[in-house]
Amino acid sequence: MTSTATTQIPGYVAGTWDIDASHSTVGFSVRHMMVSKVRGYFREFSGEITTAADPTQSTVTATVDMDSIDTRQEQRDAHIRSADFFDVGNHTVMTFRSTEVRTDGADWSVLGDLTIKGITKPVTLELELNGFGPDAYGGTRAGFSAKTEISRKAFGVDIDMPMDGGGVVVGDKITVELEIEAVLRTA
């Protein structure tokens, strides 16, 4: 039986998908020095997406290697890996596990539990379904974009670095942006 939500998604394919990290991005931005934003990425991550016949029953799990952070400045990356921020020596991965998928017309949300530094908090990813279709290798691919905002302090990344004259070097609000391409598993 095809759900109403499925018929609204051109080319929708139910199945289990592996995130293709070479064609995907796990990125973030944070306010820096109260005047601009610094962007960064994680180079190593993996995950599984299961698209159900009823899309609202779909699931996502993902793992990000915290040591793979890249802000295009090695000294800053080393500091972010330290106990001041991610404490990579004790917390090597960040994980996400979905708990619910919601739709409101063309708008989709994935709710789930995000764990950073051993602290788990609920987050909501605003999801864009980019499409489903064949690839050049005889397989099937799917594309998704997602975005959320989190408080770094809520996850124990609570270093304060005040600036002379007011403000902080690193803001609390982190915008997380995902561009995900996934490959359908074959039997």
* In the predicted structure, residue 58 carries a pLDDT above the cut 60: yes
Average pLDDT for 12-20: 96
Q: What is the pLDDT of residue 85?
A: 87
Domain coverage including residue 29: 4-184
Q: DSSP string of 110-166?
A: EEEEEEETTEEEEEEEEEEEEEEEE-TTS-EEEEEEEEEEEETGGGT-----BPTTS
Q: Could you tell me the two tokens for 170?
A: 């690193």
Per residue in 75-130, pLDDT tens? 989 998 999 889 999 999 999 999 999 998 888 999 999 999 999 999 999 999 99
Residue 162's CB is within 10 A of a number of other CB atoms, namely: 9
Q: How many domains does the chain divide into? A: 1
* In the predicted structure, residue 158 carries a pLDDT above the cut 60: yes
- CATH code, 98: 2.40.128.110
Query: Taking CA 56 as the corner, what is the angle to CA 180 and CA 126, rounded to the nearest 5 degrees?
Result: 45
